[in-house]
Amino acid sequence: MTMKRDIPLPPLDEQMLTGAEASRSLAWVAGAIAFVLAWLVTWYWGTATEIAGIWWRSDTFAHGLIVLPVFGWLVWRRREWLAGSRPSAWAATGLLALPLGLGWLIAELGSVAGAAHFMFVAMVVTGCVVMLGRRLAALLLFPLAFLFFGVPIGEFLLPVMMQHTADFAVAALRLSGIPVYQEGLYFVIPNGRWSVVEACSGVRYLIASLMVGALYAYLNYNRLSRRLAFMGVALVVPIVANWVRAYITVMVGYLFGNEAVEGFIHIVYGWVFFGIVVFLMFWIGSYWREEELAAPAVATVMPAPQAARYWLACLPFLAITAAFPLLLRSLEAPVPAFSVALELPEAAPGWQRMPAEQPVFTPSYHGQRGEASAIYRGEDGGDVLLYVAYYARQQRGHEMVTWGNGLLGADRPGWRILRSDVAELPQGGKANHGQITNGVLRLDAWHWYRMDERVVTSDYLAKAFLALDRSFGRPDDSAVVVVLVNATEAPELARKRALAFIEAHRPALERSLDAVEIPR
């Protein structure tokens, strides 16, 4: 019996040299990366703990818990490629910390958590490049890029993906011969009501698929074209698969009763379906798998860096990254608790301000420095609710645009948004306009932000204005204005009534907001 060896083995002494040098180089690399993490986590403790907290409590971003362990494993896999190399600080790259730190500072001032988290991770990657040097950073390009999957970002995709999921499910049901009545994310079929909620959007499937898809492409392909092609598949497949999953879920409920897809069964089915889709994606991708490239033999061993020269090259990065947290502390002095009194406008001619009573619905805003609401009755007997929440000297816990604040927020169970768009306001500007319902009552809703005489409808633009004002030391006084009208029986009449009320009272309301006194 004969044995054939396809791959010639290097001499034993060369193997021993490669293995020993791989261990030494890996130790140098691990030490440099550990220092970068320790340095940045110390200075940016609040941001780092925010990221870790989101990983721990959010199902959408739970994949972040394995990003660092996988990163460590990817670095370890490259140990033979690292053999003979030593860190050699890349000083010029440290200057990238300047725009990254500035971006982090502006994001913190504007309370834009997603941007702050991204800037922090980008600083970690930049720090690793600085302290490892050009050669080692090139060898660890993918492991370093993989760290960006730890940024808990992507929730901005929720509204778009939820709407597309609902539209696909409704279209597929109609093609199946099932009559459907749709209102936004909600639709009704003959034996039940359905809605696409955040968990059904497919965002978590998309993020998870992109992460494992990138890892699979890196481990199984050498050519960039194949890696990018597989990443494209990993982007499209989970979106379409989630649409199909939503359609199948409703069909099963239609054929076998809603109890067949409720609660835990619904969740488990979703993840099992996603697992099968990913398995098929990997199975098909395996047909184009390429053999892993062998690491070159160690020809020369680089000398250890001279300590003084090495740390001098790292100094710009270390100094810049330490400066921005100190600058933030000087700009964000503690603000003692205070409140302001809001005076809503008196009734305009043709309107009557009604005695104070508990409204049927109030928006969900928290952390305001003051709030007020009143009911106004028009000549036709129709009522309009005006609600105003005022924010000033905004900081954590007292932010106008933040999670949980909104027309419905997180504490208005039973209420849902039927549709939403942006509409013109009398006297100029635009407002968010839509309808909300609890299944019995339907309200025509108008709301907008007023920020230093600016009328803003976008949360992102409001955050940008807030960051800009605070960066230049300007007051951040802001207000959210909400107008609600009963639209249960006559939606078009409710819209006209709301516009008439806004036209009659907006000038007086803005004068009232301008007159609010804030302790400085």
The string of pLDDT tens digits covering residues 447-489 is: 999 998 899 999 989 988 988 888 887 888 999 999 999 998 8
Model pLDDT, residue 157: 86
Dmax (CA) of the chain: 106
Report whether pLDDT(11) > 50.
no
Q: What share of the chain is helix, strand, coil (3-state, %, to 5)?
A: 55, 15, 30
How many other C-beta atoms can be found within 10 angstroms of the C-beta atom of residue 110? 24
* Residue appearing with tokens 């690793």: 128
Model pLDDT, residue 42: 96
Q: Specify the domain boundaries for CATH 3.40.1000 within the chain.
A: 351-514
Report which of 322, 393, 318, 335 is spatially closest to residue 104, judged by C-alpha positions: 322
Q: Which two tokens stand for residue 154?
A: 């992507």
* Residue appearing with tokens 């009604």: 354
Burial call 286-324: b when 16+ CB within 10 Å, e when fewer: eeeeeeeeeeeebeeebeebeeeebeebbebbbebbbeb
Model pLDDT, residue 502: 94
Confidence bin at 294 (pLDDT 50/70/90):
low
Model pLDDT, residue 304: 60
Model pLDDT, residue 500: 93
More confident residue, 8 or 344: 344
How many other C-beta atoms can be found within 10 angstroms of the C-beta atom of residue 107? 21
**C-alpha distance from residue 221 to each of 62, 231, 289 (Å):** 27, 11, 6
Report which of 165, 310, 170 is spatially closest to residue 254, judged by C-alpha positions: 170
Report whether pLDDT(505) > 90.
yes
CA distance 226 to 415: 47
User: Which CATH number fits the domain 351-514, given the four candidates 3.40.1000, 3.90.320, 3.40.50, 3.30.160?
Assistant: 3.40.1000
Report whether pLDDT(298) > 60.
no
**Residue 516, beta-bridge partner list:** none
SS3 category, 117: helix
Model pLDDT, residue 1: 37
**Residue 386, beta-bridge partner list:** 374, 483
Report whether pLDDT(8) > 70.
no
Report whether pLDDT(323) > 70.
yes
Model pLDDT, residue 15: 44
pLDDT digits over 365-393, tens only?
Answer: 999 999 999 999 988 888 999 999 999 98
Confidence bin at 293 (pLDDT 50/70/90):
low
* Sheet bearing 186-189, strands edge to edge: 181-183, 186-189, 192-195
Cα dihedral sign for 368, 478, 328, 464? positive
Backbone phi and psi for residue 22, each to the nearest 5 degrees, phi listed first: -60, -45
Model pLDDT, residue 254: 85
CA distance 235 to 205: 10
Mean pLDDT of 144-153: 95
Confidence bin at 14 (pLDDT 50/70/90):
very low
Report whether pLDDT(80) > 80.
no
Beta strands in 138-230 (DSSP E): 181-183, 186-189, 192-195
Q: Which two tokens stand for residue 337?
A: 């608790």
Backbone phi and psi for residue 501, each to the nearest 5 degrees, phi listed first: -65, -45
Q: Which two tokens stand for residue 225?
A: 């074209």
Q: Find the Cα–Cα–Cα–Cα dihedral 209, 210, 211, 217, rounded to 10°.
A: 100
More confident residue, 289 or 436: 436
Percentage with pLDDT > 70 across the chain: 90
Mean pLDDT of 7-15: 44
Which pTM value belongs to this model? 0.82
Report whether pLDDT(195) > 90.
no
Report which of 124, 119, 118, 120 is spatially closest to residue 137, judged by C-alpha positions: 124
Model pLDDT, residue 214: 94
Report which of 407, 363, 357, 402 is spatially closest to residue 383, judged by C-alpha positions: 357
Model pLDDT, residue 261: 66
CA distance 470 to 451: 12
Model pLDDT, residue 142: 94
What mean pLDDT is reported for the chain?
85
CA distance 107 to 82: 36
